């Protein structure tokens, strides 16, 4: 039996001593109280895994002890001891939350067994509560790591739409964290206690995709030896995340549109529809408007899914987030791998910030894990980083521009180019002019003049230089 902190409550000293000696022999840490008043005082001061209390005591009885335990420590396993004549009161105690009751006279083995079962139930409850809190913590929108303007916009969007039933479309390059955002939406919504079902549509053979999404009935095709529950049904009441949505064949997209519109699905080989209550989130690393134009994605499906568009920026466009992400991964992998790594050297951080990160956050995560596994000491140096990261990426040559045969208005072209760079800088800094000026290597006065010149004042947040 697992050792636990147990409180014994009885106004009879002989009974307290007998139970205390028995439980101490079993390895438990035992405290005693000579009545209900002392017991409630003890419950207020410390927590107990289990409480064994007599029901009939002068002044403050066992029912008061039970109520106090329920209010102050609801997970504690409370066992009440009663005389045969008061079993009705014991049943009432069970209704108030007692784990079990024992009638006098009793065998000490019976007490040990009931306490063991009560403590096991408490352990399972504590473990489930801990896992649920961990799960919620891992997928809170606060854990979308970053402080850049564009990632904070994602943060705010997740917070606003979490409880909405509207479909959402997440776009971004591979490795930018699309599934993380989808999970954050789910676990911050009212559906958090229901399933989150994720599927990569590109990983399902085309011939099996309809069965995977909607299910099938036995005998509907060769190999269908039993009924199969589809992903829509598996996600009932929760969220279905369809990654790489453009990999779904156009003919099946028609059925997906109907499932979204009618909120019902039909299994392969079935003749009746099944109602569904599923929040749908889709994702893709492709440009969806191009996919629609090329016939890869149906236009009606695009509009059904793109109710709430969320675009995730590549890591190369959010360099200010790299130190935060590095710290996050170091903490995580140090704990998982049993290493004591506190950070990276300034030289290593400079290399990490200079790298282009074509694999985005996933590439950074892998680089830090590898560095911790292969590195030594409490600080990761440049030598710990992968060769692909250490190798300096050559500066990109400026794109050569051509002059059309009919010529061009150079002043107007340069004016438009300048306006576009100002817009990008303001978007990236969430409208803070001082930060945008720094991005473009300009003084605040120069930047403010150009903002006024191009009538971009609505995008800008006034700030002191």
| Domains detected in the chain | 5-135 (3.40.50.2300), 162-312 (3.40.50.300), 316-390 (1.10.8.60), 410-459 (1.10.10.60)
pTM for the whole thing?
0.57
First vs last Cα of the chain: how many Å apart?
68
Q: Is the peptide bond before 105 cis (omega within 30 degrees of 0)?
A: yes
DSSP single-letter state for residue 320: G
Q: Which of 101-110, 291-300, 396-405, 453-462 has the largest mean confidence?
A: 291-300
Q: 306: helix, coil or strand?
A: coil
Calpha distance 58→62 (Å, rounded): 10
Following CA atoms 196, 202, 205, 208 in sequence, which dihedral angle do they give, to the nearest 10 degrees? Answer: 40
pLDDT tens-digit map of 240-295: 999 999 999 988 999 999 999 999 998 888 888 889 999 999 999 988 988 898 88
The overall average pLDDT reported for the chain is: 85
pLDDT category of residue 421 using cuts at 50, 70 and 90: confident
The Cα–Cα gap between 343 and 201 comes to 38
- 57 contacts: CB under 8 Å, gap ≥ 6: 9, 10, 11, 35, 36
Q: Is it the case that residue 306 has pLDDT exceeding 90?
A: yes
Other CB atoms within 10 A of residue 215 CB? 23
pLDDT of residue 178: 93
Segment 116-137 mean pLDDT = 69
CB 346 within 8 A of CB 380: no
pLDDT in tens, 208-227: 899 999 988 888 887 777 88
Of how many residues is the chain composed?
465
Q: Where are the beta strands (DSSP E) in 351-451?
A: 379-380
pLDDT at 87: 65
Q: Which of 380, 277, 284 is nearest to 323 (CA)?
A: 380
Per DSSP, helices labelled H in 26-107 are 36-45, 62-72, 87-95
């Amino acid at each position: 039996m697992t050792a636990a902190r147990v409180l014994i409550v009885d106004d009879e000293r002989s009974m307290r001593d007998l139970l205390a000696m028995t439980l101490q022999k079993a390895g438990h840490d035992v405290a005693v109280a000579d009545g209900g008043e002392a017991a409630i005082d003890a419950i207020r001061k410390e927590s107990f895994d289990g409480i064994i209390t007599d029901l009939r005591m002068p002044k403050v009885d066992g029912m008061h002890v039970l109520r106090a335990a329920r209010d102050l420590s609801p997970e504690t396993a409370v066992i009440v001891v009663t005389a045969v004549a008061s079993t009705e009161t014991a049943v009432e105690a069970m209704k108030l939350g007692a784990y079990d009751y024992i009638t006098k006279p009793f065998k000490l083995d019976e007490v040990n067994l009931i306490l063991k079962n009560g403590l096991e139930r408490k352990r399972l409850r504590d473990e489930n509560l801990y896992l649920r809190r961990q799960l919620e913590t891992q997928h809170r929108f606060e854990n979308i790591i970053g402080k850049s303007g564009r990632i904070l916009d994602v943060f705010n969007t997740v917070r606003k739409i979490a409880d909405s039933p509207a479909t959402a479309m997440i776009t971004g390059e591979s490795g930018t964290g699309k599934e993380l955002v989808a999970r954050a939406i789910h676990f911050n919504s009212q559906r958090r206690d229901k399933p989150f079902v994720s599927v990569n549509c590109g990983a399902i053979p085309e011939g099996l995709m309809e069965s995977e999404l909607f299910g099938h009935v036995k005998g509907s095709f060769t190999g269908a030896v039993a009924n199969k529950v589809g992903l829509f049904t598996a996600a009932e009441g929760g969220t279905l995340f369809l990654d790489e949505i453009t990999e779904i064949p156009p003919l099946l997209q028609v059925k997906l549109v109907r499932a979204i519109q009618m909120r019902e699905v039909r299994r392969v080989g079935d003749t009746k529809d099944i109602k569904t209550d599923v929040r749908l989130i889709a994702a893709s690393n492709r440009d969806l408007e191009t996919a629609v134009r090329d016939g890869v994605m149906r236009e009606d499906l695009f509009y059904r899914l793109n109710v709430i568009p969320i675009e995730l920026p590549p890591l190369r466009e959010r360099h200010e987030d790299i130190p935060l992400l590095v710290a996050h991964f170091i903490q995580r992998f140090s704990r998982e791998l049993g290493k004591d790594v506190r950070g990276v050297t300034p030289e290593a951080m400079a290399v990490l910030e200079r790298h282009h990160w074509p694999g985005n956050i996933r590439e950074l995560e892998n680089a830090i894990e590898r560095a911790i596994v292969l590195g030594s000491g409490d600080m990761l140096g440049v030598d710990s980083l992968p060769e692909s990261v250490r190798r300096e990426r050559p500066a990109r040559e400026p794109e050569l521009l051509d002059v059309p045969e009919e010529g061009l208005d150079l002043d107007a072209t340069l004016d438009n180019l300048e306006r576009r760079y100002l817009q990008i800088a303001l978007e990236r800094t969430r409208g803070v002019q001082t930060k945008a000026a720094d991005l473009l290597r300009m003084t605040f006065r120069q930047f403010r003049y150009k903002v006024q010149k191009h009538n971009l004042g609505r995008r800008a947040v006034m700030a002191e230089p």
